Homo-oligomer: A and B are copies of this chain.
Amino acid sequence: MSGSLSVVGLGPGSPQQLTPEALDAVASAEDFFGYFPYIDRLNLRPDQRRHASDNREELDRARAALAMAAGGRKVCIVSGGDPGVFAMAAAVCEAIDAGPVEWREIELSVVPGVTAMLAVAAKAGAPLGHDFCAISLSNNLKPWSIIERRLIAAAEAGFVMAFYNPISKARPHQLGEAFDILRRHLPGSVPVIFGRAAGRPDEAIRIVNLAEAEGGMADMATCVIVGTQETQLIERAGERPLVYSPRSWPGPKGTAAASAEGKEAK
């Protein structure tokens, strides 16, 4: 007898940014796994069971949820943001890959959500307006040398970058080091956005330039977006400036590339 497992993205935190699909997946499940602050966002019924855990045991949590689903329960794992972006969907797949063959028969669904970089970008303007990448700065699961290599590759190739897991008590230095690396490859004028709790009551958006960016400006709930040389600031009276990365190369006031706009339908 095989049950089901849904891996659900709750979005950045505001109920206004939670999809109906995610709400339905929560409503139809019996058992809930996830990091406790995400479980706490749900208004569970008395018949729905919580199996909250801290954030350190993703693979254990995935295995426990799969074992329960294999036993016939309707199980839900919740992630903040999108479950496929540095969150539980990959851990569940890893557990299935290494686990008993019957776990492959569990009805599995992944429910996407608004991931943090999109919510932060929306508050700032359009900093992800051209090619961009998302990098986890946590070196728990990959060596720092790989992260360093990706930072340099992204800077040199002109990608906007969004940093997830920028800093934590156990990793206080990585974000500052990342800024130091980027300062060797990008101008100091590049805009950097620190977006904390976007869309929630305690939202805080701060814009600085790369020259003055420091690790201490973020905490573990912050998504950091680093622009490129092309990223622009629009000053506004009495408002936070808008930050955007122009769609065209080499910039909005360009040139050959910009004048080619409008030749095509998507």
* A interface residues with partner B (beta carbon < 8 Å): 9, 11-12, 14-21, 24, 35, 54-60, 82-86, 89-94, 96-98, 104-105, 108-115, 118-119, 121-123, 125-136, 138, 140-143, 146, 149-150, 153-154, 156-159, 165, 168-171, 199, 220, 232, 234-237, 239, 242, 244-249, 252-253, 257-258, 260-266
Contacts and interface: CB of A to CB of B under 8 A. Distances in A.
A193 B248 CA distance: 27
Given A158-B150, A257-B142, A19 B18 contact: yes
A96 B242 CA distance: 10
Nearest to A263: B140
A76 to B, nearest CB: 14
Q: Copies of this chain, how many?
A: 2
A112 B117 CA distance: 10
A157 B149 contact: yes
Given A89-B126, A246-B94, A264-B138, A157 B150 contact: yes
B260 A93 contact: no
A174 to B, nearest CB: 11
Given A141-B261, A149-B157, A90 B130 contact: yes
Contacts of A19: 11, 16-19, 114
Given A126-B92, A140-B264, A142-B249, A236 B153 contact: no
